[in-house]
Amino acid sequence: MKNYLSVSLVAALFLLTGCSPEVGSTAWCEDMDETPKGEWTANDAKEYAKNCLFRSED
């Protein structure tokens, strides 16, 4: 039973992280625009500035 629970937990975690857009992608920037600033981490703010504000459009 313990192994089943462990495998289920790992599978759920894998599936949930697979649904998130890649950090720095256009979809991620759009998601961050929708997220309240109070919920951002310091890393979120740094990545947002680097990838969304200062993005060079080629």
What pLDDT is attached to residue 2? Answer: 77
What pLDDT is attached to residue 6? Answer: 78
More confident call, 4 vs 35: 35
Instruction: Report the distance separating Cα 13 and Cα 32, nearest Å.
Output: 21
Outline where the chain has alpha helix (H).
2-17, 26-34, 42-48
What pLDDT is attached to residue 37? Answer: 95
Report the predicted TM-score, pTM, of the whole model to 2 decimal places: 0.61
Q: pLDDT band at residue 14, thresholds of 50, 70 and 90?
A: low
* Chain length of the chain: 58
pLDDT in tens, 24-57: 999 999 999 999 999 999 999 999 999 999 876 5
